[in-house]
Amino acid sequence: MKRALLYMVLCLLTVCSCRPSAKHFSATVDVPVVPVLAFRPTNKIAQLDLVNHGAMPYTVKSMKVMLKGTHNLSDITKVSVYQNDRELGFVVPETGKNRHTVTVDLNLPVNTDSLSLDIHMTLKDTIDLSNRILLEKVIINTSEGTVTITPRSPAELRVGIALRQKMQDGVHTSRIPGLTTTTKGTLIALYDARWERERDLQGDIDICINRSTDGGKTWSPMQKVLDMGNWGSLPERYNGVSDGCILTDENTGHLYVTGLWMHGILDPENGKWVKNLNETSTEWNHQWRSFGSQPGYDVKQSSQFLIAKSEDDGLTWSDPVNITRQVKPESWWLMAPAPGHGITLEDGTLVFPAEGRTDTGLQISTIIYSKDGGTNWQPGNPAYTNTNECMAVQLSDGSVMLNMRERSNRGRLEGNGRAVAVTKNLGNTWSEHPTSRNALIEPACMASLHKHTYVNQNGDKQDLLFFFNPDSKTTRNNFTLKCSPNDGLTWPDALWTLIDQNNGNGYSCITSVDNDTIGVLYEGSGADLIFMTIEIEEIIKRL
């Protein structure tokens, strides 16, 4: 009898000490396609949803995050778990230990059947830009059992630099990116420094740059290039310069930055210059609105086209030169830089994309060009109407392609597509490209276009066109890099790369970092301006 009783007690103890079953849990982990950014205090990389169909309440003891497949684990300085934007726990991976698996202690009491937790990650400031973060699986240890979850859509998350963030350097918002690579290999990132608010001109806005001499890993402090200060005794909020574009002269190494300057404002009711503006004035108008810019050349009639030059790799810049009279027909309402970067043609001609309003106020896209090394500039004729922001590339036959934001695409689901035109005579005449209005969709937003000449290990050259924009007809999200191997005749789906699925302002610019790498600066979901790199081999191996 005693032996039987002892046997029953041992069996009961054995059952009670067994790991509880987790069959009554259901769980999912979603990994959004967004870059993980250096210089951000935290980046959300996944959302975990856990449903308990069993006993309540219970405790989430810990979360094990498995990062097998991540290229460079040493870039990660912290892994955290959040609930409703509140950090519940974190772990700092220890140097020299296996970083593929980290465990975050939580001891979180749960009184509801549904629980949503976010996994966050922090990177060190100087990172390997080719790194990829891969979340293999998550293991949740609870008082009711252990739950192992594999992401529903595994994704390699790219890393990048949060180059410009809200209120950085006292700047409210940084917008309108430009990007170029100098003949010395320096990267120069260009942008609007909007000091007081996010709004477009008119406002206290300067055009500024950051420089990188190591391929985008580190960047110099912000530097002003176009700043009109208190010109004409008006406050800076009535001397804004915006919509910059940057160009590298591939022959001389000189750099050029253009920008649009507004002095004061024109009355939106009648187009007359508003007098007696001061620091407390609230009047506002914009060059693309109503009577925001008018025929004529005077600063009190029309917005002004400025250009500055650097002869020392962007370290110092000249005072701005006003070229409005060179590039704007007097009867036109406006001629303005189109944001992004310009190009140097094979014969040395310098070309900037441009946008404007004709003598009837109609919006157009075109180019301006210089055949004497940037001393004198001339405008082309309109390439298309009801368009504005645009970018140019030189095709293999020597012609110039202009890819344009088509304003009627806003909200258009049928017939949505960017306008594309080609010129063989520097914009004197244009012909519509076969892909115009039918190949590259948009939500009516600026987009970037860039030609990269890739040389493989055998010394063979291949020209690739790269295009970046929000791949959506309605919303500025799903930021996607697309590649054309045939001068823009086709943009095969296989050569598309989703970079950032979430919302952002959407403007961008692309440059060739080196033979094997392109860089993208864009207005994304995680920062005002994000810089990241993409390896050419990653793209062409899909051909």
Q: Which of 277, 233, 214, 314 is nearest to 533 (CA)?
A: 214
Place of tokens 């300085």: 77
Report whether 94 contacts 88 (CB < 8 A). no
Report whether 518 contacts 450 (CB < 8 A). yes
Task: List the beta bridge partners of residue 465.
Answer: 451, 484
Distance of alpha carbon 3 from alpha carbon 255, whole angstroms = 93
Distance of alpha carbon 448 from alpha carbon 176, whole angstroms = 11
- Please provide the DSSP assignment of 475-525 as one string: SS--EEEEEESSTTS---GGG-EEEE-S-----EEEEEEETTEEEEEE--S
Q: Which among 236, 355, 389, 523 is annotated as catalytic?
A: 389
The b-or-e profile of 475-485 (16+ CB within 10 A means b, else e) is ebbbbbbbbbb
Query: Is position 355 annotated as part of the catalytic site?
Result: no
Place of tokens 């007098």: 275
Spatial CB neighbours of 343, under 8 Å, sequence gap ≥ 6 = 247, 350, 351, 392, 393, 394, 451
Q: Which residues carry out catalysis?
A: 389
